[in-house]
Every structure is written in structure tokens, then in C-alpha cells.
Amino acid sequence: MTEVIRLTGVGRSFPGDPPVHVLAGVELTVRRGDYVGIVGPSGSGKSTLLNVLGLLDRPDTGSYLLEGAETTALGDRQRTALRGARIGFVFQSFHLMDYRTVEENVMLGGLYTGLTRTQRRDRAAEALDRVAMSHRRTFLPTRLSGGERQRVAIARALIGAPALLLCDEPTGNLDSVTTGAVLDLFDELRANGTTLLVITHDDTVAGRADRRIRLRDGRPVPVAAGAPR
């Protein structure tokens, strides 16, 4: 199975007195079709790891191969292009634009990757279908429930057929019922071959993943594999 992510000796520190070493010597490999949960308390470096994995931040040390290509040496422009094309983001606060319809929000996903408007509309319809939100196509996000909003956000992440779906506390703003629905959706996506990496502080969310990694003081500690369903 091909590797989507390979982190080798990744470290990231922030200036201060003394400097804060948020990540240190992180080793992580994610293969195509993996469903990985990363857990850790606040301050354990989850956000920084997410930023590094999402090419939003650059590690100080180590190497990050995304689909076999070294990313740490790439320029800003190439990293941006890679990020737009190969990584789908799902955020805790959804980041939907309130004044745009569900369809327009999803279509935003392909805007910067060179897709035509027609292609984006077709793919948006497809993605909304995958997350079972086609019936809300013309709604504004403000009229949707939290779970529905997150499903729209997931559809937006899926539109470019990313190599990796990077989820940052995807259920942080949801109640337990809608959390369950979103996690069921993740299972479906996983079953259809999507590579998922979920970062959360919630053990039950991480527990749905195939593989769990606990972050402690900026270092990943493997946890016994989550019970397969």
C-alpha cells in the first residue's frame, strides 16, 4: 500500500524564552486508505501537527513526504498548490460562508485548483450526494443544524478528490447524536477508500479510527489499535 504521509524526525519550536518545542522528533506514516486518530490533551501539539500536515506551517527539522514528494523544500506557491489539490480540510468551526448557499460553499472547494465552473458544479452535486446533503443544495448554512453544516464542509473537502482528509476536531461543536452521524459518514468514506486523519481530544472520536496515536509533549505514542467494527 502506498504511503500518503511519511514524517521523519519532524520538530517545530516557537521562539520564546526559553523556546517552546511543540513538536520534537515526530515519526508518522499514513498509508492510502488509513483512518488514523490523533489524540492528546490541549497543549500537546495537536494544532501544530495539523498545520504541518496540512502544509499550513513548515517544520523546523525533519522531513515530510506527501505522496512520496518532499514538501519541506518546496516554495510557498508550490505548497499552496499542493495543499489545494491534495489535502481536504475539515474544521471544528466548519468555516462555511453564511451568505453563500450550500452548493456555492461546496463549489468553493475547487475554485483554486483550476476546475471550471461546470466541473465544480458537477463535483459539488456528487460530493453533496456522498454526504447525503443534496436536498439542502440551495439552503444557506445558517438554516442548517451543526451536523448538517459539518457534512457540507466535508463535501467541500471532498470535491477535489484529495489524497488526505485532514479533520481538526470535526465534532468539537456537535452534540453526541450529530457526532455519531458524522463519524458514521467517516466510516463510509473510509470504506470507499478515503484516507482520513482525525485530530481530536475526544477518545471516543479517536476510538472509531483504525489506528490511534496519542500525542504527549510533542511526541506521538502509539496506542493499541482501535477495535474494528
Binding residues for another protein, rule: CB under 8 A, are 51, 54, 56-57, 76-77, 80-86, 89, 91, 93, 95, 97-100, 104, 108-109, 111-117, 156, 160
Q: Taking the complex as a whole, how short is the minimal distance between the CB of residue 223 and another protein, in angstroms?
A: 26
Q: Taking the complex as a whole, how short is the minimal distance between the CB of residue 186 and another protein, in angstroms?
A: 19
**Cα atoms found within 13 Å of the Cα of residue 95, Cβ hemisphere only:** 15
- The residue among 22 and 211 lying less far from another protein, judged by its C-beta, is 22
- The residue among 99 and 188 lying less far from another protein, judged by its C-beta, is 99
- The three-state DSSP-derived secondary structure of 126-150 is HHHHHCCCHHHCCCCHHHCCHHHHH
Contacts of 222 (CB under 8 A, 6+ apart): 211, 212, 213, 214
CA dihedral 139, 142, 144, 150 (to 10 degrees): 110
Q: Taking the complex as a whole, how short is the minimal distance between the CB of residue 180 and another protein, in angstroms?
A: 25
Helix (H) or strand (E) holding 152: helix 146-158
- The residue among 160 and 170 lying less far from another protein, judged by its C-beta, is 160
Q: Taking the complex as a whole, how short is the minimal distance between the CB of residue 168 and another protein, in angstroms?
A: 9
